[in-house]
Amino acid sequence: MAYRGNRRSRHTAQAVAAAGAAAALLAACSGAGGTASSGGGETVNVLMVNNPQMIELQKLTADHFTKETGIKVNFTVLPENDVRDKISQDFSNQAGQYDVATISNFEIPFFAKNRWLHPLDSYVAKDKAFDQGDILAPMRESLTAEDGKLYGQPFYGESSFLMYRKDVFAEKGLKMSDSPTWQQVADLAAKADGAKPGMKGICLRGQPGWGEVIAPLTTVVNTFGGTWFTKDWQARLTAPEFKKATKFYVDLVRRHGEAGAAQSGYAECLNNLAQGKVAMWYDATAAAGSLESAKSPVKDRIGYVQAPVDKTPSSGWLYTWAWGVQKASKHPDNAWKFISWASSKKYEALVGEKIGWENVPAGKRASTYGNADYRKAAAAFHEVTKRSITGADPRNPGVQPRPTIGIQFVDIPEFSDLGTKVSQEISAAIAGRQSVDQALNKSQALAEKVAKEYRGR
Amino acid sequence: MSAPTTVRPDRTGPPAPAPSSRAKWRRARAWATRAPLLPALVFLIAVTQLPFVATLVISLFDWNALYPDERRFTGLSNYTSVATDPQLRDSVGTTAVLTASTVLVSLLLGLGLALLLDRAFIGRGLVRTMLIAPFLLVPVAAALLWKHALYNPEYGLFNGGLSWTADLVGIDRPPQPDWISSMPLIAVEAALVWQWTPFMMLILLAGLQSRPLEMVEAARLDGAGTWQIFRYLTLPHLRRYLELGVLLGSIYIVQNFDAVFTITSGGLGTANLPYTIYQTFYQAHEYGQASAAGVLVVIGSIVLATFALRVVSSLFRQEVSRA
Amino acid sequence: MTVHTVAPHRAARAARRRGLALGLLAWLAGLAFFLPVAWMVLTSLHSESDAATNPPSLGAGLTLDAYREFFDSAAGTGPWPALINSFTASTFSTLFVLLLALPAAYALSIRRVRKWTDVLFFFLSTKMLPAVAGLLPIYLIAKNSGMLDNIWLLVILYTSMNLPIAVWMMQSFLADIPVSIIEAAQIDGARLPSILARVVAPVAGPGLAATALICFIFSWNEMLFARVLTGVTAQTAPVFLTSFITSQGLFLAKVCAASVVISLPVLAAGFAAQDKLVQGLSLGAVK
């Protein structure tokens, strides 16, 4: 008996030792991790959306920026919906994983208010070569927070406009006005539908996401006289104007829009127009660079006119992917050096020379539109782009006063959630799974919940 | 299992020890028995249960990451707003439908395939290899494949195949359905069924191969038909394997996030619980509410799982009786 | 199962015909399930414009452009760091799972603790908790301990993610081992680790291999935690894959190429070990 018991206690000792070893192993792992992630030397971590302009920047960075400054740039590149989640997570927790991120004029005001961003004024003042005065006024204004400080530098800016196939229109004897109304566009879409085998009249985003279907839809709502909220925070999603605009949008895309509209976002529509699947497309001005690039099958066949209107003289949105520096960043000086390079005139020239002037990340500097090379390469669209951007009025985009700044969005933090939920309802209406009335009734309830919070503030 | 007197050795039960050293011996023996279990248990509790305690605490706070200055204790109010949230209720239903239908369909398909593969035929190994390929694909890759390369109404394989066939038989305007919009939940389910059928098939194939052949032979000699053999011999034998498939399939499919996130972005009524909670975290930044939702889901899952495993399944019952 | 009975001629012929038909059916099913994978591989070998045609251009020229672009490190680091991260996370977590699960399974099957079914149930119940509910606290803990963007954090999480299933699978394999073998070893004076290594592991070998393979697959595939907890240095392959869905125009061939490469390790391991998989997946149901 004693012999048995003895052996058992040896077992215990063994097992305890094994457990201890496992714990030590874990501790060692965590220790190793702690030092590995902090890194060292001259680096900047950049988190950005995977738009074409950013991918080109990524390709040019090592040979130019790093070569000149010795600062290594670590990029994380993600699709738009993913990158937004990741940015807000990293910035709201001030986790400091990223020094620089692509944020937009939507996030800047409330990110700055929450003290998540590094103000850039002192850097701008010292960096004469950057030439802050050259940045277009609407961009500067939309990247300045309530406290009057500057919190972002635009990488490129965009408005929205209407693109159409000039060759198809000529063939069918259709005529596009320079400042079309939405009714005209709907008529043209009906006529252009089926102009070629498999070609639809128009591409409009239908994919869920506040940055997807909600952006073009809200500009239509604005010009039809509707608004998400009144000045004193009453939700107006079931008001006649909002309803009319939404019905118009959903009907148009259901009747003459692209196949698979409920899953189509910017990327899918760009494909559709480039592959000859649609005759028109209402979307971001930044698309023109891709459509006119050397590789594009529809190069020189696209016409560009200002965003279609109804009750307002213009209706284009205003958006910029801008660089913001996280407050918790350990390398703010390096971060600025990177921004100062990426948003510089010099970088635009580099893209013009290496990739083609039509691909320049434009829409942010006045000097771009004075550049002869750019004007030549972007002859088809640069003027209407600049007019759309400078003509956009983010403080007063509709027919009534608004509670916040913003054209295609309402500039409150809750909008990313509200917009996404509403977008899912709209998307379901586009897919024909519910009526527009049903979609808007549900959306109104969601919006009213947010409005109530603000009325109480 | 804190009292040493409760130790009841089962498989390697030693003869009863002398009364004098009994208590001491038992204590030592109890710990010796438990010791190998402890590292895994401690590790699992530390990594899965401690965060859950944190979730519990966070769920009592009104905490929106976008308003860092307004974080405060609110008691149970998150729970009331979560319980009355129609979106969350919808997603519970969606999760149930998505999980049940995916598990059931892939189990039935898997059973059919396992029966087919249980016979000798030319190229059986190759067919099995082809059949398990979907399970071995990275789920995100599979979801992307279905969304872009198969369902896409413009250049997806399904519509491409339709117009190709139409071309062959001379139909002018082939139907080009918009798969995801017209049947969003089925689209997600189809992709999941495709991935999980091989898994079910492998489990059931293992079951079939462990079937005592003599019994089948004897039954056949007694004049039992194929169906009778299947119904009265094979199926009862497969019962535990079927339950195992349901159990493991449910565990993984209930948690599915990649397919919903990738194929429909949670739109068109396909938002399941993981997606909805993710959205509350990452789009609404309502940390408190998301945690409350998480706690409720955890409680719900445990109740369901206990019920399923303890009452319905023979997996645990039989093992208890074996002990 | 073939029919061994001596049957009349006609019956034998009918059975052969039926066998042929069922074999054909199996082939059709196999091809149907494999078709999407084959289509993915074919698309990955097409140029972007050939990949996006309707009807599909099956005979279009093949090119490795999509793969070249995937491995192109001009745009950043290329896929290698992500692949290496995935490999690290999957291999080490699988290793830790086996190290922790083997003794635990021993205590649940060979020398059983009291209420071992409850313990087993507890292990399995942690698998039923929605992982997404633990995401926020884990993120906050990781952030405060400086473990964000650290591959070892994923190793720990994947270990806990796969541990319950591994314990469960392995306890059923070990329960198959005849008690007499272990008792013989004990009487020879062997201690637990050496019993596990010398007696248990060889007998439960195929089961261990299957467990390891399943753990490896699930770790390699994991995306939710990887997406939230990694960043610059610890990004895993599935997360890297999503960055190929761009608004840069056509991306189908590239996404397919990326999917093929990223699934390749799991595909290769799974194909090579499919017999083990069949044995291994019988797990708790054996007996």
Per residue in B131-190, pLDDT (tens digit) is 999 999 999 999 999 988 888 887 788 888 888 888 888 777 777 888 888 888 999 999
Q: How many CB pairs under 8 A join B and C?
A: 333
Does residue C4 form part of some domain?
Answer: no
The answer to whether residues C42 and C137 belong to one domain is no
The answer to whether residues C57 and C112 belong to one domain is no
Residues of A419-431 as b/e, b for ≥16 C-beta within 10 angstroms?
bbbbbbbbbbbbb
Q: Which residues of chain B are within 8 Å of residue C101 when distances are taken between CB atoms?
A: 40
C20 versus B5: the higher-pLDDT residue is C20
**Cβ neighbour number for residue A4 with a 10 Å cutoff:** 14
Do domains A43-151+319-377 and A160-317+400-456 share one topology? The answer is yes
Q: Inter-chain contact C138–B281, Cβ cutoff 8 Å?
A: no
Q: Show the CA angle centred on residue C185, arms to residues C179 and C187, nearest 5°.
A: 100
Q: Which two tokens stand for residue A294?
A: 């050397």
Q: Minimum mean pLDDT among A269-273, B56-60, C102-106, C202-206: which range?
A: C202-206
Chains that touch B (3 or more CB pairs under 8 A): A, C
Q: Inter-chain contact A14–C192, Cβ cutoff 8 Å?
A: yes
Q: Which residues of chain C are within 8 Å of residue B91 when distances are taken between CB atoms?
A: none
The answer to whether residues C40 and C104 belong to one domain is no
Chains that touch A (3 or more CB pairs under 8 A): B, C
Q: What is the CATH number of the domain that holds C122?
A: 1.10.3720.10
Residues of chain C above pLDDT 70, percent: 90
Does residue C232 form part of some domain?
Answer: yes
Q: Which residues of chain A are within 8 Å of residue B28 when distances are taken between CB atoms?
A: 5, 8-9, 12
Does residue C211 form part of some domain?
Answer: yes
Q: Would the ipTM clear 0.90, i.e. be above it?
A: no
Does residue C244 form part of some domain?
Answer: yes
Domain A160-317+400-456 carries which CATH code? 3.40.190.10
| Chain A nearest CA to C61, separation (Å) | 19
Q: Band of the pLDDT at B19, cuts 50, 70, 90?
A: low
Q: Inter-chain contact C221–B277, Cβ cutoff 8 Å?
A: no
pLDDT at B313: 59
Does residue C54 form part of some domain?
Answer: yes
Residue C248 has pLDDT above 70, yes or no: no
State which of C24, C48, C71 marks the end of a domain.
Answer: C71
Interval B80-121: pLDDT, tens: 888 888 888 888 899 999 999 999 999 999 999 999 988 888
pLDDT at C250: 63
How many domains would you assign to chain C? 2
Residue B38, chain A, CB below 8 Å: the answer is yes
Interval C222-232: pLDDT, tens: 988 998 888 88
pLDDT at C281: 67
Residue C76, chain A, CB below 8 Å: the answer is yes
pLDDT at B26: 80
Residue from B12, B42, B136 whose CB has the most chain C CBs within 10 Å, to mutate: B136
Q: Inter-chain contact A77–C74, Cβ cutoff 8 Å?
A: no
Q: Which residues of chain A are within 8 Å of residue C47 when distances are taken between CB atoms?
A: none
pLDDT at A348: 94
| Chain A nearest CA to B241, separation (Å) | 34
The answer to whether residues C67 and C84 belong to one domain is no
The answer to whether residues C152 and C23 belong to one domain is no
The answer to whether residues C55 and C17 belong to one domain is yes
pLDDT at A301: 94
Q: What are the structural domains, with CATH classification, of chain B?
A: 85-322 (1.10.3720.10)
Question: Residue C142 in contact with residue C148, Cβ under 8 Å?
Answer: yes
B7 versus C228: the higher-pLDDT residue is C228
Dihedral over Cα of A99, A102, A105, A107: its sign: negative
Residues of C146-181 as b/e, b for ≥16 C-beta within 10 angstroms?
bbbbbbbbbbbbbbbbbbbbbbbbbbbbbbebeeee
Evaluate the omega torsion of the peptide bond into residue C55 and state whether it is cis, within 30 degrees of 0.
yes
Q: Residue C131 sits in which domain range? A: 80-285
Q: Which residues of chain A are within 8 Å of residue B257 when distances are taken between CB atoms?
A: none
Q: How confident is the model over B11-39, as a mean pLDDT?
A: 70
Question: Residue A29 in contact with residue C155, Cβ under 8 Å?
Answer: yes
* pTM for this entry: 0.82
Q: Which two tokens stand for residue C193?
A: 């680790």
Question: Residue C236 in contact with residue C230, Cβ under 8 Å?
Answer: yes
Contacts of range C4-10, beta carbons closer than 8 Å, 24 or more positions apart? C4/B217, C5/B220, C5/B221
Q: How confident is the model over C93-122, as a mean pLDDT?
A: 84
The answer to whether residues C200 and C97 belong to one domain is yes
The answer to whether residues C139 and C39 belong to one domain is no
Chains that touch C (3 or more CB pairs under 8 A): A, B
Average pLDDT, chain C: 81
C18 versus A347: the higher-pLDDT residue is A347
Residue from B34, B37, B41, B66 whose CB has the most chain A CBs within 10 Å, to mutate: B66
pLDDT at B244: 83
Distance, CA of B216 to CA of B226 (rounded, Å): 10
Domain boundary assignment for chain A = 43-151+319-377, 160-317+400-456
State which of C23, C52, C71 marks the end of a domain.
Answer: C71
- Which chain B residues in 135-174 lie under 8 Å from chain A, judged by CB atoms? 147, 151-154
- Classify residue A225 as left (phi > 0), alpha (psi -120 to 50) or beta: left
| Chain A nearest CA to C194, separation (Å) | 11
Residues in chain A with pLDDT < 50?
Answer: 1-40
Q: Inter-chain contact C75–A90, Cβ cutoff 8 Å?
A: no
Q: Which two tokens stand for residue C234?
A: 């610890």
| Chain C nearest CA to B201, separation (Å) | 9
The answer to whether residues C197 and C61 belong to one domain is no
| Chain C nearest CA to B72, separation (Å) | 17
Residue of B nearest to C43 (CA): B149
| Chain A nearest CA to C135, separation (Å) | 12
Strands A43-49 and A72-78: parallel
| Chain A nearest CA to B26, separation (Å) | 9
Q: Inter-chain contact C192–A79, Cβ cutoff 8 Å?
A: no
- Taking the mean position of all CA atoms in its chain, how far away is CA A188? 28
- Classify residue A207 as left (phi > 0), alpha (psi -120 to 50) or beta: beta
Does residue C2 form part of some domain?
Answer: no
Residue of B nearest to C28 (CA): B127
Does residue C3 form part of some domain?
Answer: no
Interval B222-260: pLDDT, tens: 888 888 888 888 888 888 888 888 888 888 888 888 888
* Residue of B11, B5, B8, B9 whose CA lies nearest to B322: B11
Domain A43-151+319-377 carries which CATH code? 3.40.190.10
Q: Inter-chain contact C140–B54, Cβ cutoff 8 Å?
A: yes
The answer to whether residues C25 and C118 belong to one domain is no
Q: How confident is the model over B203-208, as a mean pLDDT?
A: 86
Q: Which residues of chain A are within 8 Å of residue C192 when distances are taken between CB atoms?
A: 11, 14-15
Does residue C58 form part of some domain?
Answer: yes
